[in-house]
Structure 1
């Protein structure tokens, strides 16, 4: 069984007074998830906005990824499959 899906992501970055915030949104067509991340520049550090953007975006995407993994684990458990350390692959999926 094969299928093709398109999930859309958006990443919004906001910077103010040495703090960069990021919101990563994933729209699966049936669910929308939002990940959040932030980066705080030490006042003694040089002002390089790209670094704050990269850190905040990476953290927002990591948050979004963790949410997806958590949902997948609940779904796997919901179909009665094993999950957790030491139980091996779950119906062919390894979490």
Structure 2
């Protein structure tokens, strides 16, 4: 049986005097995870707002991803599949770096 879930990410960017701030909110079935990120334009750099947006947004989403991974780790441990639990049947997917 196939199950489909849809989680939405709301990302708000604000820029003020060379500083870009991002707030990312992931709405899941169980609640909301919020992450924040900032980017600062150095005075000697060319001001390209898009770069600040990209950096701040990526940092906010990375914060959300870290929090979501901590929740997944906690849930795995609760069913005995975490690092502190007994060897199990191998729940979840292994984490690999690209």
Aligned counterparts, 1:36-55, within 5 A = 36-55=36-55
Question: Corresponding residue for 1:2?
Answer: 2
Could you say which residue in structure 1 is the equivalent of 2:74?
A: 74
Alignment coverage as a number of residue pairs? 92
Q: TM-score, normalised by structure 2?
A: 0.84
Contact 1:82 1:90 in 2 (8 A): no
Deviation of 1:81 (Å)? 1.1
| CA distance in structure 2 between the aligned counterparts of 1:64 and 1:45, rounded to whole angstroms | 29
Aligned to 2:57: 57
Q: CA deviation at 1:93?
A: 2.8
Structure 1, gaps ≥5 residues long: none
**Counterparts of 1:82 and 1:30 in 2: how far apart (Å)?**
21
Does the 8 Å CA contact 2:74/2:82 hold for their aligned counterparts? no
Going from structure 1 to structure 2, the CA distance change for 1:35 and 1:25 (only over 3 Å counts) comes to same
**Structure 1 match to 2:29:** 29
| Preserved contact between residue 14 and residue 22 of structure 1 (Cα < 8 Å) | yes
Q: Which runs of 4+ in 1 moved over 4 A?
A: none
Tell me the TM-score normalized by structure 1: 0.86
Structure 2 residue runs of 5 or longer lacking an equivalent are none
Q: CA RMSD in A?
A: 1.9
